[in-house]
Amino acid sequence: MARPDVTPAHGEKVTIEMIEAAIPFIEFLPYPVLWIGPEYQVRYVNAAGREVYGDGHDTCHRLTHGYERPCDAQGEDCPKIRASDLGVPVSVLHSHVTEQGNQIFMVLASPTENGDVIEFHIELTETVCRDALTNLYARTFFEQLVRRELSLLDRMKLSYALIFIDLDEFKQINDKNGHKAGDTALRMVGHTIMQFLRDSDLAGRWGGEEFCIFLPGSNRDNAAQVAQRLRDAIRDIRMEDPWTQVKMTASLGVFSTDQHYDFDKAVCNADLAMYRAKEQGRDRVA
């Protein structure tokens, strides 16, 4: 069933009267709908939302994420804040904690005239959030998952590590063998990375020939060992005919800490370590 259009024409904002008039219809929609007040308090949840999230008498971040603080305070893109600040409907990809476990939603948020927001939560399959070529998480969703994990690790003061991977001189594979060879190489690297993940680990394709792995609970030594084994495994990849002569190596940067839980800073540190590996001659871990 299509999402009801609660945004009036000609740029007018949704009014409280419009929402109240639409509730008898919204109540029976097959996906969660939340009406959220200015202080993140959930004013109303429809039947599908109550089935997915439970009792709606809470803040939206506690109800959908289990967060004590709002999403934007966790470094995540908050649909309520974006819709309120921009004054127009927005869509944001989110992973929510539901009665069935973690589920992926496209959150469509429309602002009202008084600062409230009406949100429609459209469930997506996990495949939508994976990179089609490597089957690793797409960057946007990978970031979403890691930011949530970091907020949990921060509460428990547990360590974590990031491994940033860049394939060395990858452009030469495309230039000499064509993009089909490059796609095959990336697919094989994605498969190789998956073999090294624990159930708790997350891996995403950062972009192009770059990848990022998140290792919750890992210290520097453990993460460095994983990175070394992964470097060896990438170097040992053998492509089939007609690209049997294609060889790959990777430069890997490792960052680990039990004190700082800022995702952007962690990525920056892992990225800097990866560039040190490049400067030191490639095909190595820094």
The pLDDT of residue 7 is above 70: no
Domain boundaries for CATH 3.30.70.270 within the chain: 128-279
Tokens standing for residue 180? 């089909």
**Mean pLDDT, residues 72-89:** 87
Is CATH 3.30.450.20 the right assignment for the domain spanning 9-124? Answer: yes
Residue 187's alpha-carbon distances to 8, 134, 158, 173, 277, in angstroms, are 45, 5, 32, 14, 23
**Mean pLDDT, residues 29-47:** 93
Catalytic residue positions, numbered: 209
DSSP codes of every residue in 132-185? TTT-SEEHHHHHHHHHHHHHHHHHHT--EEEEEEEETTHHHHHHHH-HHHHHHH
Q: What pLDDT band is residue 224 in, cutting at 50, 70 and 90?
A: very high
Are 231 and 224 a contacting pair, CB within 8 Å?
no
**Mean pLDDT, residues 46-55:** 91
| CATH number at 128-279 | 3.30.70.270
> For the segment 183-212, what is each residue's pLDDT rounded down to a tens digit?
999 999 999 999 999 888 999 999 999 999
**Mean pLDDT, residues 117-132:** 88
pLDDT for the residue 125: 81
The pLDDT of residue 260 is above 60: yes
Q: What pLDDT band is residue 124 in, cutting at 50, 70 and 90?
A: confident
pLDDT for the residue 267: 95
DSSP codes of every residue in 224-283? HHHHHHHHHHHHT--PPTT-TT----EEEEEEEESS---HHHHHHHHHHHHHHHHHTTSS
Alpha carbon of residue 281 to chain centroid: 32
pLDDT for the residue 12: 56
Report the mean per-residue pLDDT for the chain: 88
The pLDDT of residue 221 is above 70: yes
* Among the ranges given (89-93, 151-155, 177-181, 272-276), the one the predictor scored with the smallest mean pLDDT: 151-155
**Could you tell me which residues are beta bridge partners of residue 41?**
59
Domain boundaries for CATH 3.30.450.20 within the chain: 9-124
pLDDT for the residue 1: 38
The pLDDT of residue 4 is above 60: no
